[in-house]
Amino acid sequence: MNDVICAQISAPGMAAVSLIRISGMGAIDLISDFFSKPDKLKNSPGGRILFGDFIDPDGRVLDEVLLSVFRAPNSYTGEDLIELGCHGSVSLTQRILQALLTRCRLANPGEFTLRAFMNGKMDLSRAEAVNDIIQASALRAETAALMQVKGYLSNHLQMMLKKINDARLRCELAIDFADQDLPQIDMDDLAARLDELIGLARNLYDEGSHGIKLRDGLRICLAGSPNVGKSSLFNALLKQNRAIVTDIPGTTRDYLEESFSLQGNPIVLIDTAGIRESEDSIEREGIARSHELMKSADMMLYLYDTEEFIFPDELSEFEDKTLFLASKSDLNPQRELKAGHIPISVVSENGLKKLTDSILDHLNLPEELANYPLITNTRHLAALKSALSALEGAKEALTMDAGFEFIASDLILAASKLEDILGVVPTDELLGEIFENFCIGK
């Protein structure tokens, strides 16, 4: 883990500047062998930027470079680290990398962040959030990930761990000194402590479903008969002509899926085949796939353009998560609608405002995410659910007077589940699963 690694950390392709990161024990001495001012680099304190030439092993000057110097432990990885900036030619960047790889190895995906975790620069929840920032597709997803990187979730979980361990300590003292003539543990105080912990865990868990939607996007499925305007709405929400729009029924036979940002919230929008009886085997397959997509969607938008609204029986199982949209309202503005149905028009100014407001209401996230601990990761949510179950088990053991041993056992389990989120004692398998999804260079 201490060997020197390197990787391009800027996006591949031609640009004004390329950045290459080099980290590990001896990284600064290694780079000095390629730098035109080796002594200046070797003697440089951390937090300095040096200008000079990059010289390959054959003595040729490849480029003028800027070296940002970081000395352990005050670096991203906690090791000696250099970030090398060169001109953004693809071939030039590759030649510099090839020269470096004669003396060090290419970093694995996520290895810089893995080293940061292993060297105590961040816990596992914060390390995972680094990748969430990179993958974020909308402003609020970026904000939620940044709050995790800054440690808002980590600090909240650390606070809960301390409270769990305080309660467990009281139970273990009661067990260890049960035969001593000492004051008995305050059962009401212990019950209050458990109730507080259950409340903290439940609130965090209940917000978790919203947090995951914030990270992965709210999945919205468009449904309705052919030619009711699904593809037109799809294009209007995306603000691009992604789906083919014609007056021929059944144009959309397979589904289309695209992501967009709605007032900073990530949305995954799915345009499906029109629901109708069809003799066309390809169209029937498209309709069957549409039904499966509706099952997995967080919300369904059902469009109709007729005076009389009829909701197909085969879609009744999705009614609770459906918004009903009276499409093409510009053609019939006087149409009477059922309560809760939303008129929409893709050609009128503000013709979709009521719809977008309803979608945001459904997302139901707090307006201000700053200083707000939020679970946005399914692994974290599963661990938190187990912790909550263990805390409820501890409270039940207390209520049933089952004994301090059972209460302490449940509290130990609850603490271990929170420690799983923080990566207190991670397994190699877990670390592999997490960091293999990172890009090389992070």
Query: pLDDT tens digit string along 147-202?
Result: 888 889 999 999 999 999 999 988 888 776 655 655 567 888 999 999 999 999 99
Q: What is the pLDDT of residue 110?
A: 92
Q: What is the pLDDT of residue 432?
A: 86
Q: How many CA atoms lie within 13 A of 92 on its CB side?
A: 20
Q: What is the pLDDT of residue 206?
A: 87
And the tokens for 229?
């305007």
Report the alpha-carbon distance of residue 183 to residue 52 in Å, rounded: 72
Report the alpha-carbon distance of residue 275 to residue 250 in Å, rounded: 9
Full strand arrangement of the beta sheet holding 105-106? 48-55, 61-70, 81-87, 17-23, 5-8, 105-106
Instruction: List, in sequence order, the alpha helices (H) in 136-263.
Output: 139-149, 152-176, 187-216, 230-238
Return averaged pLDDT per consecutive 10 residues of the chain, 442 residues in all.
91 93 96 96 96 95 97 96 96 96 94 94 91 85 87 93 92 71 74 95 87 85 86 86 54 73 88 67 65 87 81 84 87 80 84 88 65 83 95 94 90 94 85 83 78
Q: What is the pLDDT of residue 24?
A: 96
Q: Tell me the whole-structure pTM to 2 decimals.
A: 0.79
Q: Which of 395, 383, 384 lies closest to 193 in space, CA to CA? A: 395
Query: pLDDT tens digit string along 29-65?
Result: 999 999 999 999 999 999 999 999 999 999 999 999 9
Mean pLDDT of the chain: 86
